[in-house]
A and B are shown apart, each in its own frame.
Chain A
Amino acid sequence: MGRNRSEWVSKPELEAGMYVDPAIYTDPAIFAEEQEKIFDTTWVIACHESELPEIYDFRTYQHPGGHNLIIVRDENNEINAFLNICPHRGNLLIYEPAGSIKGASPSGGPRRITCLFHAWAFDAGGSCIDIPRAQDGYQDRVKPCDYALRKVRVEVNYGGFVWVNMDENAPVLKDTLGGALDAIADTLAEPLEVFHYHRAVIDGNFKMWHDTNSEFYHDYMHYHNRITGMMQPGYWEREYIAYEGGHAQVTDMQLKYDAFEGMDERKLGWPGLDAGRWALVDLFPGISFNIRAPAMRLDTTIPLGPNKVLIEFRGLGLKSDTPEVRAERIRDHNTIWGPFGRNLPEDLLGTTGQGVALNDRTDAPYVLHAREEGNKVHDEIGMRHYLAMWKEKMGRSPSDPYGNKVNAAE
């Protein structure tokens, strides 16, 4: 027997915090508020320093707060971030996803970021170097020294990742992590290098992706994880540790890859992890450090709207890798996490399904976050802990975001 409408919308017999109003995944007003209150005030990872290895290398970054950024390595080997906006007429200064300003561009000379519109030119430190026919048009009213780029805060830290924060008054990165990455510090101690990048754009909210990374109950979706993990010793001892700031760690375990017919045992380790061990840290509001020795995966979410998310996937090895070792890391990474790997498409399917199913927020007034198993692997404490931080930042309850549950449900 199914439930009728009034049964379907009646509040679960659970404490608040054990369920969520899916409006937090789909309401455009809540999303706009998240961009302002969460993404514009927290540290997010724009890229890894190995993706701009040379002086004058750059990447552009679609900041989840809705901003376009340039990340560029300057002549002093410092990595800078700027709004990708020409202060003249507001054009994009760089259109390409990545490249170098070392050589001349079609619009200007070498070592310059030159706007293609009116050829205003800037250096890698953000200074305005040239305004064409400045004296003729502006006399002394507009001078290069007053028209530098808008600098954005950058920290290169915790394994060489390039973190940015739109908030000039935000605490330093370390003070916002609550020790979450210190817990896996030995895995981030050696110089890392990105060997893989791809992105997926799916229906669904950025928090849904983070949820998926924050609970292991969905191993019922992953045949691979049941056979190599859930059936193996240590799985049920895996534990969630919550860190201040909405971050969570799942303690590592030893997987048995060869329990999956056709898969090989992992032979190569990772700093701080023996071959085949799996460690995971999820950072608020949308970053996951995921290490299945011998490869590391980093997820960064970029919401494109309340119910559309772009997820960036990076695979990393060590800078010290020999070609043979690197090949092994790449193979092991791709078999599980590549676009055609064993697990990643399943995770994307799971989140896409939520995005489709919950698209009309009046359809489902509640979804559950209620598993309590002593913080062990199928406990949903990771999701609840994340949403407790969300509540603090947003001043809204995830289970009652409008403070008026009866009306919201109707």
Chain B
Amino acid sequence: MKYVCEATDVAEGKIKGFDVDGERVLIINGDNGFRASTGVCPHQEVLLEEGLFDGCVLTCHSHLWQWDVETGDAQGLAEGPLEMYQTKVEDGKVYITIPK
């Protein structure tokens, strides 16, 4: 797993983008803890960190594609799922696995 950030870097209910080995990833501090996904919208490559998050549902601001951050399943106007990454928080540090 790769280190991304400190848990304190992303406030509760917030999202934030980070570079991990040249890839943009989104760290999500949601209602059920930390989650991580690709940082780029699968629709038109808009940065998801500019989007909206209500604790459960992530929304890309551009065309309002939405996903459940627990599963990455499409909701609302989304026409495809969001790629989620395995996430772990240990000693206040957030780690993820980006599948190759």
Contact check, B63 vs A223: say whether CB atoms are below 8 A apart: no
> How long is the Cα–Cα vector from A208 to B27 in the complex, in angstroms?
43
B59 adjacent to chain A (CB < 8 Å): yes
Contact check, A231 vs B59: say whether CB atoms are below 8 A apart: yes
> How long is the Cα–Cα vector from A227 to B61 in the complex, in angstroms?
7
B52, B63, B76: most-surrounded residue (chain A CB, <10 A): B52
B47 smallest CB distance to A (angstroms): 14
A220 adjacent to chain B (CB < 8 Å): yes
A226 adjacent to chain B (CB < 8 Å): yes
* Cβ–Cβ < 8 Å partners of A220 in chain B: 62-63
B62, B63, B64, B76: most-surrounded residue (chain A CB, <10 A): B64
B53 smallest CB distance to A (angstroms): 11
A211 smallest CB distance to B (angstroms): 21
* Cβ–Cβ < 8 Å partners of B62 in chain A: 220
* Cβ–Cβ < 8 Å partners of A223 in chain B: 61
**CB contact list, A194-246 vs B, under 8 A:** 220, 223, 226-227, 230-231
> How long is the Cα–Cα vector from A220 to B61 in the complex, in angstroms?
10
**CB contact list, A284-311 vs B, under 8 A:** none
CB-nearest residue of chain B to A231: B64
> How long is the Cα–Cα vector from A220 to B63 in the complex, in angstroms?
7
**CB contact list, B57-92 vs A, under 8 A:** 59, 61-64, 76
* Cβ–Cβ < 8 Å partners of A227 in chain B: 52, 61
CB-nearest residue of chain B to A219: B64
CB-nearest residue of chain B to A220: B63
> How long is the Cα–Cα vector from A238 to B69 in the complex, in angstroms?
29
CB-nearest residue of chain B to A226: B64
* Cβ–Cβ < 8 Å partners of B59 in chain A: 231
> How long is the Cα–Cα vector from A231 to B52 in the complex, in angstroms?
10
* Cβ–Cβ < 8 Å partners of A231 in chain B: 52, 59, 64, 76
* Cβ–Cβ < 8 Å partners of B52 in chain A: 227, 231, 259
* Cβ–Cβ < 8 Å partners of B64 in chain A: 226, 230-231
> How long is the Cα–Cα vector from A220 to B60 in the complex, in angstroms?
12
> How long is the Cα–Cα vector from A312 to B23 in the complex, in angstroms?
49
B44 smallest CB distance to A (angstroms): 11
- 13 interchain pairs (CB within 8 A)? A220-B62, A220-B63, A223-B61, A226-B61, A226-B64, A227-B52, A227-B61, A230-B64, A231-B52, A231-B59, A231-B64, A231-B76, A259-B52
Name B's A-contacting residues (CB within 8 A).
52, 59, 61-64, 76
Known A-B contacts: A220-B63, A230-B64, A231-B64. Give 9 more (CB < 8 A): A220-B62, A223-B61, A226-B61, A227-B52, A227-B61, A231-B52, A231-B59, A231-B76, A259-B52
Query: Which 9 A-B residue pairings sit nearest by Cβ, starting from the closest?
Result: A231-B64, A230-B64, A226-B64, A223-B61, A231-B59, A226-B61, A227-B52, A227-B61, A220-B63
